[in-house]
Amino acid sequence: MSSPGTRLKGAGVSAGIVMGKAVLVGRALSQVHEVALSPTQTDVEVERFEAALRVSREQIAVLRARVLEVVGRDHAAIFDSHLMLVDDPAVVQQVVQQIRERHRNAEHVFQSVISRYCEMLSKVDDKYIRDRMVDIQDVAARVIRNLQGHASIDLSHLPERCIVVAHDLSPSDTASIDREHVLAFVTAIGSRTSHTAIMARAMGIPAVVGLSDSVEVISDGDVLVVDGSTRGEVIVNPTPEQLVVCERRIREQEAWLARVEAESKLPAETLDGFHVRLAANIEMAEEVETLRQRLGVGVGLFRTEFLFVKNDGLCEEEEHFRTYRKVAEDIYPHSVIFRTLDIGGDKFLSHLKMPVELNPFLGMRAIRFCLRRLDVFRVQLRAILRASAFGKVRIMFPMISTLEELQQALGVLNEVKAELAAEGVPHNPHLDVGMMIEVPSAALIADKLAPHVNFFSLGTNDLVQYSLAVDRSNPDISYLYQPSHPSIIRMMRHVAQAAYAHGRWLGICGEMASEPLLVPLLLGLGIHELSMSPVSIPAVKQLVRRVRMHEAEALVDQAVNCGSAEEVLVLCREFIRRVYPELLPNAES
């Protein structure tokens, strides 16, 4: 048992406070049995071992790509060392040799080689080596699971009211989880956009991820209090005093949820009748069901990168089409905006063999990549256009930085439409086409871009990064990552004016829309669609319903005249305190 009251800090990625017992999964090596083989069976056994290595290599490459995409290069490096371990010639040769000489099954031989290796390392008093042992055990567990034909951790039979604690959970692990019994997830790696986080939100299960090594202090059976809100806290074996506080917060949460439920069917409309469309940012078709059932909203940003991560090939038209069509059909009568591939920056695909760049965020990203690799781009456009025959589908280009780029992308889109028309393939040739405004150059020439599109969507995650010259994934400079900076509000206002002057509608799909504190600014800018993480929708709707437009517009007028992000935040806090004080502890936590 860990010492009572230990507080661990991670990223709260799926809101909710719960208390339950920890169940540790996926750390220990699986049970293996020794099986004697006849000499004629050893060749097949060696092949089986090599096949398991191959599968492990592929799985690690996918994990690496996903982590690189969502957490960044530093964290993905762990998978480079995993790949090296799978390919470690010393281990592989020893195992192959022993299978042949001792006539034993691969799992048994492999486990004994690894155990001996770890025993040797455990005698070395060096943190680096100890860390390496954790990696070795992780990789070994994977290879053994693959040898035994268990691709993932079995999460379908768990004790009641448990909290799953793991290093990481793959999408298939998470999908197989027993929702009846699992109260929350806690993982060592991951971020808001990692698969565990997305699935947790989709399933409505509170989650704290990114606890790093501190997750190691949790033992099986420990009592945990998990707060998946922006607090992102896990308390291990709470003290009686902590229990009193936690129980009060759980009661407050229940009262809040009851209020959200009561208001869920009401429109997202300000007190003076301005209707704003709320929509969700999602990455997987599986998330649509919850959106429709619980929230009744459409999709303002469907990130398509995960589909490419899943595929070994670059873009299989049929697979993409099936996914896009399912989303379009399931979300109907609401609409979905499919964003074309936004690869590059911190989102890489290991099978793509992209050249190493000194400044990946300023490099061959998103639309730049697509315009270079027209084979990939055309196939994706075909799949999205074909899906447009089955629902309300819109299409959006990421990272446009010049007018020429937009015109080229539209040119390719028109060619693909003509191709489909010539083939007699059903599609909607009049679907809405938009672009993200996430590069300052695009924001500043929005008036020149607006005539060519039906809508803009503000991608503030990147707009903030590029405007303030602050790498969005670098924690050391995160203090500079300021969505409320007056430069951002000014730029957004400029875009809004350009859009409205050309009769275009304006959306926002950056995380800024999930931040209740900043929502009055977005309303004041007259933004028509706020697209955000699904979990934030109820709180944002409640807030919208308490705001008057002329007050929100006055707030924008004040904000653009501020000198700093903090000054803007002070104004926003005052605003919220006036219109919806109950939201402040949540908005600011």
Tell me which residues are annotated as active site. Answer: 195, 509
Closest CB 158 distance from ligand PEP, rounded Å: 33
Name 437's bridge partners.
Answer: 458
Cα 2 vs. chain centroid, distance in angstroms? 31
The sheet with strand 223-227 has its strands ordered as 6-9, 233-236, 223-227, 17-24, 162-166, 182-187, 207-209, 11-14
Number of Cβ within 10 Å of residue 77's Cβ equals 13
Q: Is 438 in the site for ligand PEP (CB under 6 A)?
A: yes
Q: Which residues of 329-363 are buried (b: 16+ CB within 10 A; e: fewer)?
A: ebbeebbbbbbbbbbbbbbbbbeeeeeeeeebbee
Report in angstroms how near the CB of residue 401 gets to ligand PEP at its nearest. 13
138-157 positions binding ligand PEP, by CB under 6 A: none
- Return the range that interacts with ligand PEP (CB under 6 A); candidates 77-85, 444-452, 455-463, 570-578: 455-463
Question: What's the min distance (Å) between Cβ of 455 and Mg ion?
Answer: 16
| Sequence-distant (≥ 6) Cβ neighbours of residue 266 within 8 angstroms | 541, 545
Phi-psi sector, 103: left (phi>0), alpha (psi -120 to 50), beta: left
Site for ligand PEP (CB under 6 A): which residue of 82, 108, 303, 320? 303
DSSP 8-class letter at 266: S
459 binds ligand PEP (CB under 6 A): yes
Token digits of residue 589: 């936590």
DSSP code per residue over 456-473: EEE-HHHHHHHHTT--TT
Q: Is the peptide bond before 538 cis (omega within 30 degrees of 0)?
A: no
Binding residues for ligand PEP, total number by CB under 6 A: 10
The residues that bridge with 505 in the sheet, in sequence order, are 455
Pick the closer one to ligand PEP by CB: 311 or 461.
461
Burial label, 581 (beta-carbon count in 10 A; 0-12, 13-18, 19+): exposed
Which residues would be at the binding site for Mg ion (CB under 5 A)? 438, 459, 462
Q: Is 460 in the site for ligand PEP (CB under 6 A)?
A: yes
Q: Kind and range of the H or E element at 82?
A: helix 73-86
Q: List CB contacts of 402: < 8 A, sequence separation 6 or more.
A: 441, 442
Comparing CB distances to ligand PEP, the nearer of 487 and 558 is 487
Using the Cα atoms of residue 332, residue 338, residue 351 and residue 510 in order, give the sign of their dihedral: negative
CB of residue 438 vs ligand PEP: minimum separation in angstroms?
5
Answer for the pair 309, 343: CB distance below 8 angstroms, yes or no. Answer: no
The least CB distance from residue 78 to ligand PEP, in Å, is 23
473 interacts with ligand PEP by CB under 6 A: no
Verify binding: residue 197, ligand PEP, rule CB under 6 A: no
With CB under 6 A as the contact rule, the residue among 138, 222, 330, 462 that binds ligand PEP is 462
| Residue 325's binding partner out of Mg ion, ligand PEP, none, with CB under 5 to 8 Å set by partner kind | none
In the set 152, 428, 461, 487, which binds ligand PEP (CB under 6 A)? 461
Residue 401 binds ligand PEP, judged by CB under 6 A: no
Residue type at position 194: S
What is the closest distance, in whole angstroms, from the C-beta atom of residue 386 to Mg ion in the complex?
25
Closest CA to 505 of 337, 381, 330: 337
Binder of residue 171, out of Mg ion, ligand PEP, none (CB less than 5 to 8 A by kind): none
Q: 182 vs 282, which CB is nearer to ligand PEP?
A: 282
Q: Indicate whether 341 belongs to the interface with ligand PEP (CB under 6 A).
A: no
- Nearest approach in angstroms of CB 342 to ligand PEP is 5
CB of 509 to ligand PEP, least distance (A): 5
Count other C-beta atoms under 10 Å from residue 491's C-beta. 23
Of 99-107, 133-141, 367-375, 458-466, the segment contacting ligand PEP by CB under 6 A is 458-466
Q: How many CB atoms lie within 10 A of CB 145?
A: 21
Helix (H, G, I), strand (E, B) or coil at 369: helix
Give residues 476-535 in contact with ligand PEP (rule: CB under 6 A).
509-510
Piece of 136-144, 454-462, 496-504, 551-559 that binds ligand PEP (CB under 6 A): 454-462
Residue 167, contacted partner among ligand PEP, Mg ion, none, CB below 5-8 A by kind = none
Which residue, judged by CB position, is nearest to Mg ion in the bound state? 462
Q: b or e along 33-46 (b: 16 or more beta carbons within 10 Å of the residue's beta carbon)?
A: eeeebeeeebeebb
Which does residue 510 bind out of Mg ion, ligand PEP, none, counting CB within 5 to 8 angstroms by kind? ligand PEP
Taking CB under 6 A as the rule, does residue 299 contact ligand PEP? no
Q: Which residues bind ligand PEP (CB under 6 A)?
A: 301, 303, 342, 438, 459-462, 509-510
